[in-house]
Structure 1
Amino acid sequence: MHGRRRGGLLSRGCTATAVTDLELDRVRDTIYALSSGQVPAGVAVIRLSGPAVRFALETLCGAVPEPRAAVLKSIRFQNGELIDRGLVLFFPAPASFTGEDCAELQLHGGRAVVDACCQALGALPGLRQAEGGEFTRRAFDNGKMDLTAVEGLADLIQAETAAQRRMALDQAGGALAAVYAGWAQRLTHARAMIEAELDFSDEEDVPNSLSEAVLRDMRDLSEEIGLHLSGMHWGEIVREGYRVALVGRPNSGKSTLLNRLADREIAIVSDEAGTTRDIVEVRLDLGGYLVILQDTAGLRDTTSAVEKEGIRRALQAVESADLVLYLVAPGMTHEGAEVHHPNLLRVRTMSDRTDGASPAEADISVSALSGAGVDQLVTIISNNIKEIGSSASPLSANRQRHRDLLNVCREELSLAATAIGAAIELRSEHLRLAGAALGRMTGRVDVEDLLGVIFSEFCVGK
């Protein structure tokens, strides 16, 4: 076979990133850290990872346990002084969290015990305290996790609700990465086909006019990414919270309702108008979803500079809200308090009043004092959230980074598909840029994958 190179992807080299000797030394270090949270506690877990894990276990524990077997050991300083007796586990590479030799020391969770064990570990050559996120960074560097899984793990640690936990578990488990890997595989295949037509067009094993069929598939891929992006709002709601703004005129009952929904005293309640000047925010778990309630300044005409600023912030909260609860007390008018939002619910407050005040027009009536109608209001909020989620994919991108990179990928796919009559090299470049954007989603961009596809499918090496 005598295929020629004509400046396509196959002729491009990969530029290695320079790594300093100091950085290499830090990678070779064995790291350790308390991974079980603050002490004192019932149990403290100290995690180790790196090439000197076996040495550390032999030195402090006398021997390396069988892999993945919890063994009761005495942990000692190098001079023989006993630190504690606890469970020791060893996870040999590559079948460990980081892909390196790892170990866990499960000790009594006293501060003195943990300090002594860390002191003993730090005295060993080649061991040092881990930096923030360094265990996960090593797992990524060693191919145990991609960036989306790393982000999912971070979300799982921070999860406040059942919905956040479920979404984070899926992402940390690689479900989102699997979607992107499928798209990346299609992109790699498309680029390989076009590169084959470009670089080996005179070979009889390479089909003719591959590029048009390939670009049709890329148009389909662009539509799939668009559908994925359309469900991103749901991912953002689950991860960051469903924002509900309580707005209305002064003394319409906003702070009282906020306190009732939060089931505790969050906001100051007073008959004096204008007591709320800034946004008062509370995070609630409603039906397994994070809901962020915002009590805002009363809307009215005022000459107070401070109150005007509060009203400006209230209107900003309306703009960013997913749902606006417009509160109106009996006998109130809407003059000077007009609010426009695509998802606005008029709530009549103080429904238990019997002083003869005319009832306000509303979609629902509640009494924050007696609790009447509050459960119904909570149900309405929960149903609003579920309605958004009913049409969204359970696997949704949930970060601005995802949105930006997927939009770049779609744009490059569109340019490749619509470049009618353009040179095949230009179309190939657009696909390369689309693949690079998708690769940055997971942190894996491997140009060498193209070689495997070309040589296996077209037999050009026979």
Structure 2
Amino acid sequence: MDTIFALATARGRAGVAVIRLSGAAALGASARLMRSVPVARGVRQLHDAEGALLDEALVLQFPEGRSFTGEPVIELHLHGSPAVVAAVLRVLGNDPQLRAAEPGEFTRRALENGRLDLAQVEGLADLIDAETDAQRRQAVRVFSGALGEIAESWRVRLIRAAALIEATIDFADEEVPVDVTPEVRELVQGVRREMHRESEGVRVAERLRDGFEVAIIGEPNVGKSTLLNRLAGRDVAITSEIAGTTRDVIEVRMDLEGLPVTLLDTAGLRDTDDIVEGIGVSRARARAEEADIRVHMLDSDDDIPQDAGDSDIYVRSKADLLGPGVAAVSGKTGAGVDQLVARISSLLQERVASVGVAMKERHRVAMVQAVGYLTNVEESLDLEDGMADLLAEDLRSAIRAVDSLVGRVDVEHVLDEIFASFCIGK
């Protein structure tokens, strides 16, 4: 396998820049840079092919089996000058035993060498992209191997169930001393329930990863854009006394008490003959329907329904124009805004509580497939004799679905898409 290299830190001026080499030729390449025998770690001068000094760097060596990729790895910790980095990369690029790494290639080698499973790779990608603390915590759980541990638990129990069923096939002409049905049923039911619960949390996990959407809706001039500006802490939406000022959906991404949230300021909902405003109203209705939470801003308490749904919050607007003690919100003065934010956060935290460790649609599909096979097994256990072969095949299919969660089988088609999201040095 080729020996690869890449800049592992961000480009641009910095205190330290790290270049990583991975593969059998990494040690030899570093020795040529240092013009000496490589050492496990230490500060060394790096030279080009003509002997000119490039930089003085900290050189770290990670032996095979103890590195991130599982291969021999050398890290060069350089001074973070763009000129220094460019010079060292140029020398490495001229080495015939090395080649520049492709996006995500270091992590792909970690997968291929058994250092990570596929779920951990996905967790690592999400950890790199995490913007809020909630996203970080979720990604760390998956990267630490939590999904792999659960999948292994399911796999062990399903293999036990399959072994019991296949024992009845092997001894079909003899009397099996113990009825295996009760144990098989207990194993299958336990796994099925856990899988179903885990799959139910995937959609919320996806929203946690990609960000929740909160739409602010209401009639024109009810104060939607002013509230958005207050929540964002800056003027992101134009406000005026002219009805219909907001024509399109304005989006602001923010961290709301640790949760990633995109606030949507929508066009005022009303009937209009203005074609452009009409398009804005249609878009507003569509985006609001898809949002996780809708904040309805109203001019009167009489418009607030008593049976609001879990995804709808109704608030009286323009608290600055009302008397003291009136429950309302004002984007202009900030009155009631903290209470509104707390209410939104509480609703989202309740949903996040259902999140497990599975976080991708791929995970959900695999678990739903496995649940289908296990349901077939449960329904067929009490049927007449002769079903053992079909039960065993359903259990094997369920095991293959579980294996696909962590990349043991049937995942080659998703690898290119996953690794394309990684930077070159990862």
Provide TM-score, normalisation by structure 2.
0.88
Distance in 2 separating the partners of 1:168 and 1:331: 42
Number of the residue aligned with 2:363: 402
1:177-234 CA distance string (max 9 Å, x none): 1111111121222223323332355699x86543553243112211111122233344
Find 2:89's aligned residue among 93, 115, 118: 118
| 1:344 counterpart = 2:318 | no
Give the 5 Å matches for 1:426-445. Answer: 426-445=390-409
Bigger relative CO (Cα 8 Å, ≥ 6 apart): 2
Number of the residue aligned with 2:290: 320
Number of the residue aligned with 2:243: 273
Number of the residue aligned with 2:421: none
1:332-380 CA distance string (max 9 Å, x none): 979xxxx9854211122211116x9xx9xx9x41111111111111111
Deviation at 1:403, TM superposition (A): 1.2
The answer (yes or no) to whether the contact 1:287–1:382 under 8 Å persists in 2 is: yes
| 1:375 counterpart = 2:348 | no
- Three-state SS of the structure 2 residue aligned to 1:352 is helix
Number of the residue aligned with 1:252: 222
Distance in 2 separating the partners of 1:160 and 1:195: 49
| 1:97 counterpart = 2:68 | yes
Identity of aligned residues (%): 45
Q: RMSD value over aligned CA atoms?
A: 2.5
What residue identity is the alignment partner of 2:38? V
1:67-114 CA distance string (max 9 Å, x none): xx4x10111112211111111101011111011111111111112211
| 1:198 counterpart = 2:169 | yes
The answer (yes or no) to whether the contact 2:56–2:78 under 8 Å persists in 1 is: yes
The answer (yes or no) to whether the contact 1:75–1:85 under 8 Å persists in 2 is: yes
Give the 5 Å matches for 1:103-142. Answer: 103-142=74-113
Number of the residue aligned with 2:137: 166
Deviation at 1:134, TM superposition (A): 0.6
| 1:40 counterpart = 2:1 | no
Number of the residue aligned with 1:455: none
Provide TM-score, normalisation by structure 1.
0.82
- Three-state SS of the structure 2 residue aligned to 1:98 is coil
C-alpha spacing 1:307/1:423, structure 2 compared with 1 (3 Å): same
Distance in 2 separating the partners of 1:236 and 1:99: 30
The answer (yes or no) to whether the contact 1:280–1:295 under 8 Å persists in 2 is: yes
What residue identity is the alignment partner of 2:350? E
After TM superposition, the runs of 4+ consecutive aligned structure 1 residues lying more than 6 A away are 331-334
Aligned length: 403
- Three-state SS of the structure 1 residue aligned to 2:297 is strand
Distance in 2 separating the partners of 1:109 and 1:281: 36
Give the 5 Å matches for 1:292-371. Answer: 292-329=262-299, 342-353=310-321, 364-371=327-334
- Three-state SS of the structure 2 residue aligned to 1:44 is strand
| 1:63 counterpart = 2:18 | no
Distance in 2 separating the partners of 1:265 and 1:174: 43
Distance in 2 separating the partners of 1:341 and 1:306: 31
The answer (yes or no) to whether the contact 1:29–1:127 under 8 Å persists in 2 is: yes
1:157-184 CA distance string (max 9 Å, x none): 1111111111111111111211111111
- Three-state SS of the structure 2 residue aligned to 1:246 is strand
Find 2:57's aligned residue among 69, 81, 86: 86
